[in-house]
Chain A
Amino acid sequence: MSTAAPQGYVRPQLPLISRIFQTPAASVSIYLVVVGLIVYSAFNGAQAMGYNWQWYRVPQYFYTLTDDGFQWGEISIGLVKTVELSLLAFFFAVILGLCVAMLRLSGLVVGKAMAVVFLELVRNMPLLVLLYLFYYVLGPIFELDRYWASILCLGVYHGAMVSEIFRAGINAIPVGQWEGARSIGMSKPQIYRFIVLPQTVRFMLPPLTGEAVNMIKSSAIVSVIAVAELTTIGRNIISDTYMSFEIWFTIAAVYLIVTLILSIGVSVVERHYSVH
């Protein structure tokens, strides 16, 4: 048999220049050049405006080692506050989200309507406005201080998102699981607790992690009502020292590290749940 030309559709070869650009080496170098340019121009711009880099002054805001011994710095304290705030708010968001999801799936007309109204209200309102509502309107009415107003606001805002995650997770459980459980006489709360929710964890972990990361990031917004957390502390340090470049870079890096740790931790847990 002779070696005939391949039959049918033959993908046309790309021009040489495209082929070069598509090699990994070329992609990486282009990336490095672009990033380098950005960093260089930023650095240059800062030089040109006579910015005085003072990175050596940053570590003291994490911790100090003096004659008095080891002491946490302001950024570290702010970080703990941010984590604490986010944890409390996330806990609240999960409880609220679960309740809203169950209301929505309950089949009760009023429950469903309430859940939908809540969802639409929260989802279509900017977080900042919601925060002002909680602090300036609900705060005085229910005697909430700024700390609890921010926790409730973040909890409500993310509770709406979490409820959708729960709803999707619960709906992902096949109807046969319900029937199997009902056929051995289990009640609805028992079915949720022992059969449905344990199985939804697997589906919900990735989106819930995303929501937790979002929560940590959006917790920065409470700095507008001066709740002492990472972003507020950053602003305070800057107003004392005028080191805006260093401090904002540092704060951004701290947020990044926290959320990365969270994501990695959850992917470990996720592997645990996907065994069977």
Chain B
Amino acid sequence: MNDDAPIIQASGLNKFYGRFQALKNINLNVKQGERVVVCGPSGSGKSTLIRCINALENHDAGRLVVDGIEVYEGSKQIRNLRQEVGMVFQQFNLFPHLTVLENLTIGPVRVRKLNKQDAERNARKYLERVHIPEQADKYPSQLSGGQQQRVAIARSLCMETRIMLFDEPTSALDPEMINEVLDVMVNLADTGMTMVCVTHEMGFARKVADTMVFMDQGEIVESAPPEKFFTEPETERCKAFLKQILVH
């Protein structure tokens, strides 16, 4: 595959919930190693868009190709796709009946068919990477929100995916825990991982984003590099939004 070809390629995506149109004609290309931050008011379709990328939601029209895999409802390739696309959720979605280590190894062992020792060695390596190697044998409920979210990031890393999706990873966290998660994400960005983040953390966006995408009412209204996006947004909607969230 040509390295310059986009790893995520969406053209004309549409998604409906009943009569409500959540995505309107979305065109988005993400290159290998590109960091895209998606922002916009709530209900603008940001989460829906990234949930379509790993087929947690199915789009109703348009074409979506992720890592060379054509994504459509009922495709047999969906599970292969998900092995290449990690996802971090707002509510962590860790498995409460498994220890941290088991949370990290269940995917590699059951899906990738890795043997247990290798999976555990890998898991400990990634726990180190998210700065909580000492929590391996605890249960998720014994950790703080920030630690849980870092475990969730490590769980995706353990699958050695080529793309990571973040769905408002810091929105459910207490303010003092946001930075520890963002630090991990910044480090991850530095490794060259392809990332698509839905977030309201504009400081983080400025630091890591290659491309800012602004969505409103199911459309991509504006898409620009951060320096241009934050200083001279083109549309009124985007200006209004930035004014809202940057006012403090």
| Residue in contact with A194 in the complex, picked from B82, B110, B156, CB distance below 8 Å | B110
> What is the bound-complex CA distance between A184 and B110, given in angstroms?
10
Does A195 count as interface, using CB distance less than 8 angstroms?
yes
Q: A179-B56, A179-B89 are in contact. Are A184 and B111 (CB under 8 A)?
A: yes
* Interface size classification for chain B: 20 to 34
What is the bound-complex CA distance between A184 and B87, given in angstroms? 8
B93 interface hit (Cβ, 8 Å): yes
Chain A residues within an 8 Å CB radius of B75: none
Bound Cα distance from A177 to B79, whole angstroms: 17
Are A186 and B97 interface neighbours, CB within 8 A? no
Query: Which residue from B82, B106, B139 sits with its C-beta under 8 Å from A183?
Result: B82
**Docked complex: A184-212 residues within 8 A CB-CB of B:** 184-187, 190, 194-195, 198-199
Neighbouring A residues of B92 by C-beta, 8 Å:
176, 180
- Which residues does chain A contribute within 8 Å of B192, judged by CB atoms? none
Q: Which A residue sits closest to B112, measured CB to CB?
A: A185
Quick one: which of B97-119 are within 8 Å of A by CB?
Answer: 97, 106-107, 110-112
- The answer to the question of B86 belonging to the interface, with a C-beta cut-off of 8 Å to chain A, is yes
What CA separation (Å) do A182 and B111 show in the bound complex? 11
Alpha-carbon gap, A199 to B94, bound state (A): 12
Q: Is the CB of B97 within 8 A of A276?
A: yes
A187 to B107, CA, bound (A): 11
Contacting pair A195 B83 (CB below 8 A): no
**Contact with B110, one of A180, A190, A199 (Cβ below 8 angstroms):** A190
Complex: A198 Cα to B139 Cα, angstroms = 15
User: Considering the chains assembled together, what is the distance between the CA atoms of A199 and B56 in angstroms?
Assistant: 22
Q: Does B179 contact A (CB under 8 A)?
A: no
B111 touches A186 (CB 8 A): yes
Query: With A183-B86, A195-B95 in contact, do A276 and B106 touch (Cβ < 8 Å)?
Result: no
Please classify the interface of chain A as helix (H, G, I), strand (E, B), loop, or mixed, using the class held by over half of its residues. Answer: helix
Residues of A within 8 A of B87 (CB): 179, 183
Contacting pair A185 B97 (CB below 8 A): no
Q: Give which listed residue, B82, B91, B152, B159, contacts A182 with CB less than 8 A.
A: B82
Considering the chains assembled together, what is the distance between the CA atoms of A198 and B94 in angstroms? 14
Is B21 among interface residues, defined by CB-CB distance under 8 A? Answer: no
Give B72-94 interface residues, CB cut-off 8 Å to A: 79-80, 82-83, 85-87, 89, 91-94
> Which of B54, B94, B97 has most A Cβ within 10 Å?
B97
B89 touches A198 (CB 8 A): no
Cβ of B171 within 8 Å of any chain A Cβ, yes or no, is no
B56 touches A187 (CB 8 A): no
The distance from the CB of B98 to the nearest CB of chain A, in whole angstroms, is: 8
Q: How far is the CB of A51 from chain B (nearest CB, A)?
A: 57
Q: What's the minimum C-beta distance from B110 to chain A, rounded to whole angstroms?
A: 6
CB distance from B171 to the nearest CB of A (A): 14
B111 lies within 8 A of A176 (CB): no
Contact check, B79 vs A187: say whether CB atoms are below 8 A apart.
yes
Residues of chain B touching chain A, judged by Cβ–Cβ distance below 8 Å, are 54, 56, 79-80, 82-83, 85-87, 89, 91-97, 106-107, 110-112, 139, 141-142, 152, 155-156, 159
List 27 A-B residue pairs with CB atoms under 8 Å apart, sorted by A's residue number. Answer: A176-B89, A177-B95, A179-B56, A179-B87, A180-B93, A180-B94, A183-B54, A183-B56, A183-B86, A183-B156, A184-B82, A184-B106, A184-B155, A184-B156, A185-B82, A185-B83, A185-B107, A185-B112, A185-B159, A186-B106, A186-B111, A187-B79, A190-B110, A199-B96, A276-B96, A276-B97, A276-B139
Give A contacts to B, CB under 8 Å. Answer: 176-177, 179-187, 190, 194-195, 198-199, 276
Further 20 A-B residue pairs, CB within 8 A, beyond A182-B56, A186-B110 = A176-B91, A176-B92, A177-B95, A179-B89, A180-B93, A180-B94, A180-B152, A183-B54, A183-B56, A183-B85, A183-B86, A183-B87, A183-B156, A184-B155, A184-B159, A185-B112, A185-B159, A186-B111, A190-B111, A195-B95
